Structure 1
Amino acid sequence: MTKSINSLVELELLFNDRIDYAADRDSAGAYDQAFIETSEMAKLSIVDEPMATEMPDPEMARAAVELAVGTIFDVFRDTRMEEFAQQIVWGFVNSFHMTARLAEGREDDAAKKLGDLARTYDPSEIYAVELEETQMLCQTLQGCREALEAMRDHASEVYRVETGKPFQATRGSQVSKNGVTASQIAARDFLAARSRERREQLAPEGPMVLVSGGQDWHDHEQIWDRLDDIKARVPEMVLATTGMRKGVDAIAASWAAARRVKLITFVPDRKHGARAAFIRNENMLKLKPVEAVICQGSGIQSNLYELLRKARTPMHALRTANQRPDAKLA
C-alpha cells in the first residue's frame, strides 16, 4: 500500500505541472464509478481460481492516462515531429478501445454460459459453485471492461482537446418454491441488470436528432450553432450521423464530444452493395427522429431529405453556397 501511495504522489507532482484539461474536471467521477469493486474476490478465466485482488487506484489511473497522453503532445509540440503526435495518440487511445472490446467478448462468453446455467435446475453443490464462479467471472470482466472504457474515454477527451477532433475508432440482475435456487436468482438478476446496461450503451434512449451532409463541408460554426439551438430545446437529445470521417459528420461528432451528447453512427452495410447507403437512410428513419440537420451533399443526402420530408420530421436544410468562407483559404 505504501508503494501505491508513493507512486500516486509522484504521478500527482507530474500531473500538477500539466495543462488543466477541461476533461480532467469531469473524469474523476467516471473513474470512481468504473473502478468499483463489487466483490473481494476476482476471477478472470474459467480455469483460474477466484483470487483476492484489488482494482487499480482510480486516481492513479486517471493521472497516468492524462500524463501519458498529454506528455506525447508536449514533447512533439513546436517541433518538426508535431504532426505525428496526433497519429501516435490516436493509436494509444485505440489500444484502450480494442482491449476493452476484447474484454467485452470474454464477458459475453461468460454471460452466455451463466445464462445457460441459470436456466438449468440442479440442486447439487457442484452446480451451485460453478454458477457462482461463472457469475464472478462475468462480474470481474465487466468491471475490467468498464475501467478500460473509462480510461479510453478520458484519453479520447484529452485527444479532442489537443487536436480539436473527436477520437473515432476503426471498427466501435423468485422464490425457491418453483425449484429455483438462491444462486439462480442472483445469476438471473445479474444478467437482467447487465442486459439493461448494454442495451442503453448500444441503443441510447432519448429524442433522436439526425445530421448528415457532404464530406467537403467546412463551415463548422453553422452546424455547431444549429445543434446548440436544438440541444437548448431538446436537452436529452441523442445525435445520429451517417458515420463519415470528414465534412458534416466529423463536425457533428466533434460537437457531440464537446457537449457530452451521446452519438450513434450509422455506417452503411456493404453487403447491400449500391443500395447500402439508401437502406441505411431508411433504417435511420425507423428511429423516429424529432429533428434533423441535412447539409447539401450527394444523392444520399437528397434521399434522406425526401424521407424526412415525407415523415414530416422538423428539418434544417443547409446549402453549400450559404457556408461562411473557409478561413484556411482566406
Structure 2
Amino acid sequence: MTSTDVSRFADITDIFAEQTGHPSSSFAAAFTETVDGFQMTRGDEPITAGLPDAWEAERASEMVVQTLFDVMRDTRLEDIAGRLAWGVVHAFHKVAQQLDQEADRAAMKVKDLIRSADGSEVGTVEIEEAQTLCQSLDEAREAVACMRDRAAETYRVETRRPWSAPRATLVSSKRTASVIDGTNFLAARRQRRIEAQAPQGPVVIFSGGQRWHDDRQLWDRLDQIKARVPAMVLVTTAQGKGCDAIAAAWAASRGVTLVAMTLNHRLGSRAGFARNEQLIKLQPVEAVVCEGSGLQSHLARAVRAAGIPAHFFRYDGQQAA
C-alpha cells in the first residue's frame, strides 16, 4: 500500500473508501436487515425494499456536516459553521429518539397482546405483526443513530469539541436480529437496553474545573491510562466546558464509553459532594482530578482516602502533580 499525506478527517475517509469501498464495521452492522416485510406504522403495507447502502450512508452522514465547514471555511461565516453543524447532528439525534419512543410503544403493544393471547390463529397473527413493527422501528432507529454518531464524530473533529445532546444519553447498539417467540423478544430487547445503559468495564473517574485550556496533557494522560486499561469506562462530572469537555472529546476520539454523572439538584448544596461519593462507590481503578472548585478538592481527598491510584493536575502551569 502506498503512503499518502492527509490533512483532514475527510481525507482519511476518502482514502479508505477509495482503497476498500467498504463501510466501517459499525455501519455494516447497523445497516443489516433484521426483518422481512418492514413496517413503520401499523396497517402499512410491508416494504420489501432493502436498507440504504451502508457505505453510501456512512459517506453521506459525514459529508452533510463536513460540507458546511468546507463551504464556510475562510469566510465571514466561518464562526457560525459549528452552530449549523450542531443543528444537523441534532436533527439525526431527534429522529433517532422519536423512533426509539415509537419502538417502546410497539414493544408495549406486543406485551399487551401476549398477556391477552387466547391461542387463536388471529391472536398469533396479531402478535407476529406487532413484533414485525417493533423490530422494524428498532432497525430504523439503529441506522439513524449510527448516522448521527458519524455526523457527531465529524463535528468533533472539526470543532475539537464533542457533540452533546440537550438532554438524554446517546446510545447506539445493534439489537438482536432474529426473534420468534414474543416473550423472548421482549426479554432480549429489555436486556439490550440494560446493557446499553449500564456499560461494563473498569471505571476511571475524571473531574476538573471549567477553566482549562491545555487539552494535550489531559489527552496524553488518558491515553496512558487506556494503554493500561483497554476496556476502561470513563466517568466524568458532566460539565459542558473545561476539563470534562476535554475528557468527553478524548473519549469520543478513542471510542471509549463515557458516563456523565449529572447532579441531583434535589440535594441542593450537597449535590456536588453526593456525586463525588457516588464516584468513589463505583470502585474506580484510577482517577484523574484537575484543580477547579472545592468539589475537586473534596474528590481529591476522597480518592486519596480510598487508596485509588490517581493523577492530579494543578491549574497553575497546568502540570501533573
Give yes or no for TM over 0.5.
Answer: yes
C-alpha contact 1:290 1:314 (8 A) present in aligned 2:
yes
Change (3 A) 1:296 1:27: farther
C-alpha contact 2:236 2:259 (8 A) present in aligned 1:
yes
Distance 1:23 1:147 in 2: 21
Give SS of 1:240's match. strand
C-alpha contact 1:166 1:254 (8 A) present in aligned 2:
yes
Give SS of 2:181's match. helix
Percent identical pairs in the alignment equals 48
C-alpha contact 1:23 1:158 (8 A) present in aligned 2:
no
**Farther-moved stretch of structure 1 (303-312 vs 72-81):** 303-312
Q: Is residue 280 of structure 1 aligned with residue 280 of structure 2? A: no
Alpha-carbon displacement from aligned partner over 1:216-242 (angstroms, at most 9, x marks no partner): 022212211211111111000011111
C-alpha contact 1:107 1:141 (8 A) present in aligned 2:
yes
Q: Is residue 98 of structure 1 aligned with residue 94 of structure 2? A: yes
**Farther-moved stretch of structure 1 (289-298 vs 271-280):** 271-280
> Paired residue for 1:317?
312
Q: Is residue 170 of structure 1 aligned with residue 198 of structure 2? A: no
Write the mapping of 1:120-269 to structure 2, written as runs, cut at 5 A.
120-171=116-167, 172=169, 186-269=181-264
> Paired residue for 1:54?
50
Distance 1:215 1:237 in 2: 24
Distance 2:212 2:109 in 1: 48
> Paired residue for 1:19?
10
Indicate which of 63, 70, 76 corresponds to 1:74. Answer: 70
Distance 1:205 1:108 in 2: 24
Letter of the aligned partner of 1:20 in structure 2?
A: D
Distance 1:129 1:272 in 2: 50
Q: Aligned-pair distance for 1:120?
A: 4.6
Gapped regions of structure 1 (runs ≥ 5): 1-17, 174-183, 325-330
Aligned residues: 297
Give the superposed CA RMSD.
Answer: 2.2
Letter of the aligned partner of 1:272 in structure 2?
A: L
TM-score, scaled to structure 2:
0.85
Distance 1:37 1:122 in 2: 31
Alpha-carbon displacement from aligned partner over 1:196-222 (angstroms, at most 9, x marks no partner): 322222121111111100000222122
Q: Aligned-pair distance for 1:121?
A: 4.4
Letter of the aligned partner of 1:70 in structure 2?
A: Q
Letter of the aligned partner of 1:186 in structure 2?
A: D
Q: Aligned-pair distance for 1:307?
A: 2.9
> Paired residue for 2:6?
none
Q: Is residue 33 of structure 1 aligned with residue 29 of structure 2? A: yes
C-alpha contact 2:205 2:236 (8 A) present in aligned 1:
yes
Alpha-carbon displacement from aligned partner over 1:25-51 (angstroms, at most 9, x marks no partner): 596321111011112211212343444
Runs of 4+ in 1 over 4 A off after TM superposition: 22-27
**Farther-moved stretch of structure 1 (80-89 vs 125-134):** 125-134
Gapped regions of structure 2 (runs ≥ 5): 1-8, 17-21, 170-175
Give SS of 2:206's match. strand
Higher helix proportion? 1
Q: Aligned-pair distance for 1:118?
A: 3.3
Distance 2:229 2:15 in 1: 26
